[in-house]
Structure 1
């Protein structure tokens, strides 16, 4: 009996989805793209470990854009910079909404900036931006946070050098560094680099990212069979870690003497008119969002950058020479423009190894038109409400039409004026990450210190593999290198 009911439900959903609801989507069916299976869509064509390579394959075949189904979701993948600008920037009001999976919504609980509606996002983002703009500490305090936490990282690396005969695996240390920076920024509290709390926060962050990837996210038909207890559990676990610090600041908060980001957020809550749109219940989610959004992406960039510098001694030496020539032992954020090679190298690593192969997808909330000049056949297409728009940064980053010798690490392409290059670090358009500038500043300060303090060499002069795998983000195989402490005298 139960099996019969389940079959009937699945049949009704299938007929409704695939046979009855496509009348207004004829333009989608006109767009070229791979064959889509019922329920699965084109998921069968993707390599799970090299997800980004599958996009490259479709890019070579379909060029500017194509239609694809991810599970049960209709998607238009945008490949050309021109088309991405046309849709995501010029028609931004029509593609403002993010695609939020059931897993992300379960994590967000209506209070997270990572999984909210467009109206909620505007409210939450505005709150965060205002909170930080009121932060009178400004760049000087960010400099202090970055430098203080980096110094702990540097001392830890020196200990590893001595205990491991100069052989170090840097990835876990970069993750601890990003966690310690975020924690200090939020609470104004210093933790020892090896404090167990750092590792506990890191474990929770990785567990949340992993648990928010379920079959029902792409195939809603299976949502009724999906349990979200693992997400609920790890959110409670992470909240328990930050709760003591949060409660401490709520009790000891001095409105006239804010000392950290949390103090400024509390002030913003108090300054709101009634009824309050943001409450104290939002604070744990803001704190968790920053750990989740700021740890994996920033630490992964540090890991890739150092790996490629290890394989490119000449480039590593050029960056160090620039740092020494400017003559500032401890660069600060106001000095950033004095280091064009370092800044360009950070952009180049984002081009070669973007954190995600695709930029966060949008949902069409008003019909949009792909103009005929962007179509290989000279046609235009009306894209209906509910379609996902996926900007594919990875593939055009490797197209010689846009980047000369795209497989070569060449930061010179970003030195000087290059208006024809659309550079996408974490996102594009009006709905970008509110913490993006924080992450870029963090990378600048860390690298400006790191390459003055250490030299990185391949073990036994054997180049490290730069092959990329897609496991939550684009990452290398685990690697180690020889780290040599430099003499500052």
Structure 2
């Protein structure tokens, strides 16, 4: 059949004509898409499938690993599709810093996914919010936490008191194997509780135990595949079990927080603030007295800010401490060096924050744990606040942006041995501690972790206090080589479930 005959048959019937029109329309739209992309130089990336996007490319258990590999092919600024959701990924130290620090306003908004929208009741609190409410709540939280000692001597005393309680818990196991997860969760939760409420909880308090349990469960659920799918297809998956469990846990914890807040409200002294809650209530009363109708100091912001601080101040620090002890058991020669330095510099007295500068190896071990464990492989999603031209790429206003923090902490151009536990990454030739610009576990810019200074104090004081008192080993019958460092990936990256022995050194 000749070409002319083929063309004639193609257009000889209404059905064929319609089919030809559809084909031509698709070709036209695709060509225009390519022209527009070339014209605006949008970030490159793998070709997405309809509806699924690039999901079939992703490592289901560790999507950050796939993104890291894609950055090697497509560059430090590239596009992927999580289902129908377009995401621009930022990889490597220089690119992440340039975006979050040098272009902080452009990349400073929070992308509030459907699950975060559910959790924040539409954008309240200090983590999953934007605009004036977020700015005021973050300003309030930062200034008030500093007032109550974050990064100062008062917080140091609270942490040292909690170290005493934690050591007692470890001693009760009498050198037998136990899981460190729950004791660390309780200890770190108590630090933020003492700053927020003005007092700590006993580890046996059922109310406290249940709040911590629900917060841990919330973190686990947020890392589940079903909730990630809900974020991509919220109109289809509102009914899923994990979403219902998440919202139930959150509401139950908010009710518990509300009861604690009510007790503080009934005993409030406007002249003497005991913690973050008191400071909020005093400001709330002032705003009400002045009849401010558009105040951000309302009950929903209070309850959700407390929930954000309680959850955020527990999981990440607790998980990092678990990695610290696991690495010490895995690398006993490094543990011995830490303890030798502690013996030589501190002796039997309590370690203080001011001792950090005299303990360079110990400080380097803590930093290297944070770097290698990379417990937050991707920063919580950002969003562009306006149209941006970044590194020659056009990124439209409202685009979801993932700063890939693990690519910063494992950047081969910044770290000599990025995939190896090597405290020398933070030591100079004379053995002095050396700051590294590419050390960015708390993210950076406008959305950097507001509790960074508190977390740094906790990690240093808990770790040194425990290493003064105990030597950590694998359980009997488990060799150092058999100690598993395989991570469990969820919202954070934690160690696989494991037990350690805490052998008393004294």
TM-score grouping bracket, smaller chain normalisation: 0.7 to 0.9
Deviations 1:144-167 (A, max 9, x none): 211222211111111122xxx521
How far apart, CA to CA, are the structure 2 residues paired with 1:179 and 1:340? 28
Question: 373, 387, 397: which is aligned to 1:353?
Answer: 373
How far apart, CA to CA, are the structure 2 residues paired with 1:71 and 1:181? 39
Q: Decide whether the 8 Å contact of 2:221 with 2:246 is kept in 1.
A: yes
- Tell which structure's C-alpha radius of gyration is larger: 2
Q: Decide whether the 8 Å contact of 1:249 with 1:263 is kept in 2.
A: yes
Structure 1 stretch 247-256 or stretch 135-144: which is displaced more? 135-144
> Is 2:151 the partner of 1:126?
no
Aligned length: 460
Q: Decide whether the 8 Å contact of 1:46 with 1:54 is kept in 2.
A: yes
Aligned-residue offset at 1:210: 4.3
Aligned-residue offset at 1:30: 5.3
Q: Decide whether the 8 Å contact of 2:408 with 2:440 is kept in 1.
A: no
**Structure 1: gaps of 5 or more residues:** 1-14, 372-379
Aligned-residue offset at 1:410: 1.7
Question: 418, 427, 439: which is aligned to 1:423?
Answer: 439
Q: Decide whether the 8 Å contact of 2:329 with 2:472 is kept in 1.
A: yes
**Where do residues 5-404 of structure 1 align in structure 2 (5 Å cutoff)?**
26=37, 31-109=43-121, 110-135=123-148, 139-161=152-174, 166-212=176-222, 213-222=227-236, 229-272=244-287, 274-275=291-292, 276-327=295-346, 329-371=349-391, 380-404=392-416
Aligned-residue offset at 1:403: 0.9
Aligned-residue offset at 1:214: 4.6
Q: Decide whether the 8 Å contact of 2:191 with 2:200 is kept in 1.
A: no
How far apart, CA to CA, are the structure 2 residues paired with 1:330 and 1:249? 33
- SS of 2:64's equivalent in the other structure is helix
How far apart, CA to CA, are the structure 2 residues paired with 1:245 and 1:151? 25
How far apart, CA to CA, are the structure 2 residues paired with 1:289 and 1:137? 16
Q: 1:233 to 1:26 in 2, by over 3 A?
A: same
How far apart, CA to CA, are the structure 1 residues paired with 2:218 and 2:499? 27
Deviations 1:81-136 (A, max 9, x none): 22222222221111111111111111112321121113322111011122233337
Equivalence for 1:12: none
- SS of 1:167's equivalent in the other structure is coil
- SS of 2:173's equivalent in the other structure is helix
Structure 1 stretch 215-224 or stretch 360-369: which is displaced more? 215-224
Question: 449, 468, 479: which is aligned to 2:487?
Answer: 468
TM-score w.r.t. the length of structure 1 is: 0.86
How far apart, CA to CA, are the structure 1 residues paired with 2:166 and 2:336? 22
How far apart, CA to CA, are the structure 2 residues paired with 1:137 and 1:53? 34
Aligned-residue offset at 1:229: 4.5
Q: CA RMSD in A?
A: 2.8
Q: 1:451 to 1:136 in 2, by over 3 A?
A: closer
Q: Decide whether the 8 Å contact of 1:208 with 1:235 is kept in 2.
A: yes
- SS of 2:251's equivalent in the other structure is helix
How far apart, CA to CA, are the structure 1 residues paired with 2:305 and 2:35? 39
How far apart, CA to CA, are the structure 1 residues paired with 2:363 and 2:375? 17
How far apart, CA to CA, are the structure 1 residues paired with 2:168 and 2:210? 21
How far apart, CA to CA, are the structure 1 residues paired with 2:445 and 2:499? 37
- SS of 2:236's equivalent in the other structure is helix
Q: Decide whether the 8 Å contact of 1:354 with 1:425 is kept in 2.
A: yes
Deviations 1:333-369 (A, max 9, x none): 3333332222222221121111121122211121222
Aligned-residue offset at 1:224: 6.7
Aligned-residue offset at 1:231: 4.0
Q: 1:173 to 1:423 in 2, by over 3 A?
A: same
Aligned-residue offset at 1:201: 1.0
Q: Decide whether the 8 Å contact of 1:168 with 1:480 is kept in 2.
A: yes
Q: Decide whether the 8 Å contact of 1:91 with 1:368 is kept in 2.
A: no
How far apart, CA to CA, are the structure 1 residues paired with 2:460 and 2:150? 19
**Structure 2: gaps of 5 or more residues:** 1-25
Q: Decide whether the 8 Å contact of 2:93 with 2:411 is kept in 1.
A: no
Q: Decide whether the 8 Å contact of 2:179 with 2:499 is kept in 1.
A: yes
Q: Decide whether the 8 Å contact of 1:39 with 1:219 is kept in 2.
A: no
- SS of 2:314's equivalent in the other structure is helix
Q: Decide whether the 8 Å contact of 1:458 with 1:482 is kept in 2.
A: yes
Equivalence for 2:474: 458
> Is 2:433 the partner of 1:408?
no
Aligned-residue offset at 1:241: 2.2
- SS of 1:337's equivalent in the other structure is helix
Q: Decide whether the 8 Å contact of 1:355 with 1:426 is kept in 2.
A: no
